[in-house]
Amino acid sequence: MNTSLSFDQAADFYDRTRPLFDATADLGIQALLDAAGLGARILEVGTGTGRISIPLMERGANLIGCDLSAKMLARQREKYPAARLAQSDAVSLPFPSGYFDVVLTVHVMHLIGPWHAALREFKRVLKSGGVLLNVRTYEAIGDSIRGRMRDHWRDWLQTQNVNTQHPGAQSGEDVKAELQALGAHLKEVEAVRFLHTYNLRTELDRYTNRVFSDTWSVPEPVYQASLAELRAWAAREYGDLDQEQVETIRFVFDVASFDP
């Protein structure tokens, strides 16, 4: 049984709710190209609608994308007909061993149930001396109100015996530890950091619209109660929900290199 999370239900709204910030669209994409190297054969696992892969291909990247979700892949093909795509599970990639110079993952390891096996599969399809680039495009630096909102929402649901835990890796540190166990050498590359402005009403709307994947499995009556609780908490903690909030965000990725 496949325990990874498919984004089929997000295909129609994903691009509206997961934009690539202007501040990262240039420097972040270029940093990935620089890390991959000129002419590298790249596989993006969890390519989705092409939020990252299309800008890479537009700059000349030799990239193949794969994803569990046929609907997300169809959306990418509509946007970029030249895209080379394969529907596949991350633990059973339809490519020969040693085929790619680079495997790219972007906000996907927490969605892959058998993520340990997936990392071994990524290593299998990499050439000797290949690299895995594991990307976070919007990682908060320091205190994050959005992070506190997420923690409060999840903690409240736990009191209702509802688990919102993703099926895959629970932290980036877990992924790093497993990569090191597989023989990888790790380094972190920060491409850019910038200020992100938002307000809490807009963030609450994202919960209302079930934008986040960890909201999808919560039963409707419990979910509505969790929304009421979250709105009350936000108003109590921060007052004016329309007040401008500012966070420092960075586009960062781990480079896992495997020796030749």
Q: How far apart are CA 156 and CA 152, in angstroms?
A: 6
Residue 142 has pLDDT above 60, yes or no: yes
Residue 118 has pLDDT above 90, yes or no: yes
| Helix or strand holding residue 104 (H, E) | strand 100-106
Q: What mean pLDDT is predicted for residues 31-55?
A: 97
Residue 1 has pLDDT above 80, yes or no: no
Q: CB-based contacts of 204: which residues, under 8 Å, 6+ apart? A: 227, 230, 231, 234, 241
Residue 159 domain-assigned (yes or no)? no
Structural domain span for residue 64? 8-142+167-197+248-258
Residue 2 has pLDDT above 70, yes or no: no
How many residues appear in the chain?
Answer: 260
Check which CATH number belongs to the domain holding 188 and give it.
3.40.50.150
**For position 250, what pLDDT does the model report?**
96
Residue 155 domain-assigned (yes or no)? no
Residue 94 domain-assigned (yes or no)? yes
Tracing tokens 């795509």 back to the chain, one arrives at 85
What's the pLDDT tens digit per position in 59-115?
999 999 999 999 999 999 999 999 999 999 999 999 999 999 999 999 999 999 999
Give the angle subtended at the CA of 63 by the CAs of 60 and 68, to the nearest 5°.
Answer: 145
The domain tally of the chain equals 1
Q: What mean pLDDT is predicted for residues 254-259?
A: 94
Rg (CA), the chain: 19
**For position 170, what pLDDT does the model report?**
93
Residue 13 domain-assigned (yes or no)? yes
200 near 243, Cβ under 8 Å?
yes
4 near 89, Cβ under 8 Å?
yes
Residue 1 domain-assigned (yes or no)? no
Residue 23 has pLDDT above 90, yes or no: no
- Classified as helix, coil or strand, 100 is strand
Residue 239 domain-assigned (yes or no)? no
Residue 213 domain-assigned (yes or no)? no
What's the pLDDT tens digit per position in 159-210?
999 999 999 999 999 999 999 999 999 999 999 999 999 999 999 999 999 9
**For position 104, what pLDDT does the model report?**
98
**For position 5, what pLDDT does the model report?**
83
Tracing tokens 């890479």 back to the chain, one arrives at 56
Residue 90 domain-assigned (yes or no)? yes
- The mean pLDDT value of the chain amounts to 95
- Sheet-wide strand order for 126-141: 84-87, 62-67, 41-45, 100-106, 126-141, 245-258, 184-198
- Classified as helix, coil or strand, 234 is helix
